[in-house]
Structure 1
């Protein structure tokens, strides 16, 4: 199997690159194509010789997407549609990385793949449109919806775990705060990357939730980070409204891997176990 990967330097893309290397699978980064009338034809030729294109690149700035929606839709929908069309013309299977946030805010229990999608932000609307374009382009294509990704080097400014550890260490008042209302699934990028490669190696098609087992509020997540990092800092609850966000992000981004379980795939590890593995592995010497 030979993979072409967008977003190879991102949180998930870098984990896919590393796992493919460990498994001896050819996985090469793909530069962002320029948007234009010839984009599909250029993509078709650049995909020659590959078996799968994994589209992990995305505009993930949910707040900025609310004030600059045109850029959001160009990045997450239009570019995705063009890659899907180019892949279909080249007879190359496509895997699109989406988000469990697209389910919206209409229920309080974890979402499954058969649940309706009612996104509440421009970011998640654009991801839904990207999904639709990918699935319409070819019946063998795959959409992977994942959750609150963590992992990677501490130096990455978007490393949520490392930033919370720094926040706790710098807490002069002896406490930090976190959102008690929003719930989701913390997902280790290494676990998700492993499952994506497994799906690529199978005949899996359509929509798959791909999240670690269990779920947590943001508060519980940050409390676990602080506790597992061995820090004696209190994490106090805050309401979602106190963060004054532009994007009306759902308070429920929980999901379950219902489809893969029904088809006999093993569950991904519990999120807290994977968080401990990450803190004892890649982040073992962080800040010491």
Structure 2
């Protein structure tokens, strides 16, 4: 398979690149096109590819609230342009989206048939991107994923490594840490998600799928597992959402269930805690 990839340097894109190489696929990083690029010219760049995997996004939820125009430019307009060009080139497009766009209607894990009522500019921009991608061609694929972790410890947005850093600092200062008990979601290892994304693409799947690890957690349970599995004996205090200063009104429920995949006979994804342990024992073993 010849794969074109946006966001190749990101948390998910880096995992996709590595797995594609292991499978013997050609994976080429694609630079972000200017929004005034003619669709025909962009389509010419895409021809010959088997898949365009669009993983690039503005993921700074807080900054998106401060600068909504930049958010919609990066997440909606760029996705719309790529979708139009891919359709003209007859190349299927896979868009990486977010389980955070379901909103606040339910307290249980969302399934794909649930309504989407995003509560932030970031998640609304992802929903508009989804709609543009699905309207462009019937074979396009949208995968909604959750709280991604993985990658090198040096990555600034490495959630697990940054919590380890925070815990070590707190220990050195004789302090404690706090984590949110009200925010629910699904921690997702980038390696697991990248592997399932490529498998779905190869199968010819289309439409919207949730794509998360099994199980759910609060932020508190997630951070607690990081500390326990990293062998850091530090008290973790339960905190409420109001205690963490945020501009974005993120839904307290970003949990999702891989209902569509299960109905179609796909195997269950690994449990997030087992994958977190594997990650700590592999990529972060010496951290």
Quote the residue 1:275 is aligned against.
276
Quote the residue 1:33 is aligned against.
33
CA distance, structure 2, for counterparts of residue 46 and residue 279 of structure 1: 39
CA distance, structure 2, for counterparts of residue 56 and residue 233 of structure 1: 35
Residues 162-181 of structure 1 mapped to structure 2, 5 A cutoff = 162-171=161-170, 172-181=173-182
Give the match's secondary structure for 1:245.
Answer: coil
In the TM superposition, residue 89 of structure 1 has moved relative to its aligned partner by 0.1
8 Å CA contact 1:33–1:39 kept in 2: the answer is no
In the TM superposition, residue 173 of structure 1 has moved relative to its aligned partner by 3.2
Give the match's secondary structure for 2:142.
Answer: strand
CA distance, structure 2, for counterparts of residue 40 and residue 112 of structure 1: 34
1:140-175 deviations in Å (ceiling 9; x for gaps): 000000000000000001000000001000102341
Give the match's secondary structure for 2:277.
Answer: helix
Q: Structure 1: which 5+ residue stretches go unaligned?
A: none
1:220-269 deviations in Å (ceiling 9; x for gaps): 00000000000010111111011121000000000010000000000110
Quote the residue 1:231 is aligned against.
232
Quote the residue 2:209 is aligned against.
208
Q: Runs of 4+ in structure 1 displaced over 3 angstroms?
A: none
In the TM superposition, residue 42 of structure 1 has moved relative to its aligned partner by 2.1
In the TM superposition, residue 39 of structure 1 has moved relative to its aligned partner by 3.3
CA distance, structure 2, for counterparts of residue 118 and residue 134 of structure 1: 18
Quote the residue 2:23 is aligned against.
23
8 Å CA contact 1:228–1:276 kept in 2: the answer is yes
User: CA 1:178–1:139 in 2, change beyond 3 Å: closer, same or farther?
Assistant: same
8 Å CA contact 1:98–1:127 kept in 2: the answer is yes
Quote the residue 2:88 is aligned against.
89
8 Å CA contact 1:182–1:240 kept in 2: the answer is yes
CA distance, structure 2, for counterparts of residue 167 and residue 93 of structure 1: 42
Quote the residue 1:119 is aligned against.
118
1:19-65 deviations in Å (ceiling 9; x for gaps): 001111111100000111x3312210110110100000000000000
CA distance, structure 2, for counterparts of residue 70 and residue 252 of structure 1: 26
CA distance, structure 1, for counterparts of residue 236 and residue 219 of structure 2: 11
Residues 181-196 of structure 1 mapped to structure 2, 5 A cutoff = 181-196=182-197
**Alpha-carbon RMSD:** 0.6
CA distance, structure 2, for counterparts of residue 42 and residue 78 of structure 1: 17
CA distance, structure 2, for counterparts of residue 42 and residue 218 of structure 1: 44
1:240 aligns with 2:277: no
Q: Structure 2: which 5+ residue stretches go unaligned?
A: none
1:61 aligns with 2:63: no
